Amino acid sequence: MQQNSVTEQMTQAGQKIEHDSFAIVDQEVGTHKYSAEEWNIVRRMIHATADFEFNGLTRFHPEAVSAGLKAISQGSHIIADVEMICVGLSKPRLSHFGVTTHHYISDADVITQAKAENTTRAVQAMRKAQRLGLLDNSIVAVGNAPTALLEVVRMIKEEGLRPALIVGMPVGFVSAAESKDETALLQDIPWIITQGRKGGSTLVVAAIHALLALAEQASK
């Protein structure tokens, strides 16, 4: 199989460390029930956190990987709940596919509207993305705010929103697990989630980087 170039570490030393880390994960993980492509995503998530519980906690809609690869190959937008995801994603890797990232949680109008309606900034940020026409056919990336994920699920059910893929991994104690449970009930919209309280922007970044690597390999 041909070596990736765009989605690899930039130095040979960095590549060796990453590949050795993946090999250690493969060696220590034991058994898993993921497909080869799904395992590439889960393995990178474990690599990013040193937490083997994501072998099992990570769940995939049957069409999640294929939907993610299609969205990336078409240069879809990534709409994130927080800036951390946008900062964490590799700009050279994204630009290779023409993928752009967006977040609105700190925008003045989002904050004003959240105060006026007594909702969260995360809810209003997703509503702003929808008003701008960016959510349909996009990759929705949620690593921090359960209310963002719940709002996307609501818009899917009530407003006919059709994102290409949801990477829903909010972390926390209030509504985090519940928001992912709600996402997992979606049948027509592909998703990747982590069950329970565990999650975070680092995991979302790792999952998307894995999808970018798979997309590069698929393009060869």
Domain map (residue ranges) of the chain = 12-218
Phi then psi for residue 56, to 5 deg, are 125, -45
Cα(91)–Cα(103) distance, rounded to whole angstroms?
15
Q: Of residues 19, 32, 47, 96, which has the active-site annotation? A: 47
What distance in Å separates the CA atoms of residue 57 and residue 193, rounded to the nearest whole number? 8
Look at residue 47 and give its three-state secondary structure.
Answer: helix
H-run or E-run covering 60? strand 58-60
Compute the distance between CA of residue 80 and CA of residue 192 in angstroms, rounded to an integer: 14
First to last CA, the chain: 10
3-state SS string for 113-178: HHHHHCCCHHHHHHHHHHHCCCCCCCEEEECCCHHHHHHHHHHHHHHCCCCCEEEECCCCCCCHHH
Edge-first strand order for the sheet with 77-80 is 58-60, 191-194, 165-168, 139-142, 77-80, 100-102
Q: State what percent of residues in the chain have pLDDT above 70.
A: 95
Distances (CA, A) of 91 to 33, 85, 100, 177: 32, 12, 9, 30
47 catalytic? Reply is yes
Residues 132-159 pLDDT 10s:
999 999 999 999 999 999 999 999 999 9
| Out of 5-9, 53-57, 81-85, 94-98, least confident range | 5-9
Q: What is the fold, at CATH topology level, of the domain defined by 12-218?
A: Rossmann fold (3.40.50)
Q: Give per-residue pLDDT as tens, 22-78.
A: 889 989 998 999 999 999 999 999 999 999 999 999 999 999 999 999 999 999 999
